[in-house]
Amino acid sequence: MSSFSYIKKAVDQRKSQHLFRKRTVVSSNVSMVMEVEGNYYLNFASNDYLGLGQQQDVLQSYVEGLSLHGAGSGASSVVSGYNKEHLALESFICEHTNKEAALLFSSGFAANQAICHALFASGFSKPQENLVISDKWMHASFVEAASSLQTPFKRFKHNDLEHLAYLLDSCPSNTLIASEGVFSMDGDEAPLSDMVNLLETSAFTNRPWLMVDDAHAIGVTGNSGMGSCDASNPDRDQIDIVMGTFGKAIGTSGAFVAGSQALIDFLLNFARHYVYSTAIPAAVAKATLTSFKLMRDSDSRNLLHQNIALFKHKCLSRGIPLTDSASAIQPIILGNPELTLNCSLSLKALGIWVGCIRTPTVPKHTDRLRITLSAMHQEKDINALVDALELSLKQNGFNSKTNGPTL
């Protein structure tokens, strides 16, 4: 018997449980119409919430960046990979998140890993002096990082501030509380103002830090589109760490961490995910800054929210069960992986592509169709989606009154 003999067994088990993941080759994706194996689908599974990834100004900025700076950065940011385009993007982020400093990362996953490992695995404190607390539904990138530490890691019930307060009753010297601003699978929002109020009104020897993963809120939420912190309008020091990504509403790639100058200086020196990674290309940074400015000055956010309201209204009129999400993420909880997969396949047969999300990505019995809306969707697209959902759910025996299969 050779090493890793469990691999085939594990894969076969996933297949038998209707949980097997596989990739799809997309030949083209223009204006939320995607081509797969010669067939065309309305794309309701993209995180390009504003359609900025296809805007001509963003593409032209990318081309100019390539011409000026080349296709890559050539080195880590602490060697020779830090370009004026990176500085310009970081400066914009600081100005519009009300933070002193920022760092750019290759992905949100890398950024969340860097925060956890730098703060708690750099050898400056003992495990018993530290505590990480996150929302139960915090993103896997953060949970994976926090779980790998020697530091105690606790999770409070989703958006349950009473449970959070209980866990904070005896917090040690260095405590980090983490939550998503808009939750990636359910689309609901964290009560950030109430969380800030809890920290400000409680008597702590050492005030815990609050971190917000704003991957699905940047570009969408807030008066200026700068995310959950923009929406809750806290003072500079009330939310200590903001992480946001560029690969969703901003339409490019990469991520940032923003906070105090002291925090960013610390990460710059001790975050291995930053120090030992090649910097994102300067062309990407240039295009990202253009996209941010276009997001702030265009009507795309209003168009997105109009589409969200239209979709929810039409689903309500058809008895299609939705959650309370007011974001671009609109899940339909089916609670069964086989049913979810079958509904997804039925939708594809009707020319509609939606996310098919099953455990372990979400908790057991919360398998769902994850629909994501974009400013690029037209009213006729949303009508087609709702018609297809109604038919698919009926064909696969889903009973909207019991939120489960018809027995």
Q: Which residues are catalytic?
A: 47, 139, 180, 184, 213, 216, 248
If DSSP states are collapsed to H, E and C, what string results for the chain? CCCCCHHHHHHHHHHHCCCCCCCCCCCEEECCEEEECCEEEEEECCCCCCCHHHCHHHHHHHHHHHHHHCCCCCCECCCCCCCHHHHHHHHHHHHHHCCCEEEEECCHHHHHHHHHHHHHCCCCCCHHHEEEEEECCCCHHHHHHHHCCCCCEEEECCCCHHHHHHHCCCCCCEEEEEEECECCCCCCECCHHHHHHHHHHCCCCCCCEEEEECCCCECCCCCCCECHHHHHCCCCCCCCEEEEECCCCCCCCCEEEEECHHHHHHHHHHCHHHHCCECCCHHHHHHHHHHHHHHHHCCHHHHHHHHHHHHHHHHHHHCCCCCCCCCCEEEEECCCHHHHHHHHHHHHHCCEEEEEECCCCCCCCCCEEEEECCCCCCHHHHHHHHHHHHHHHHHCCEECCCCEECC
Which pair of tokens denotes residue 161? 């501030």
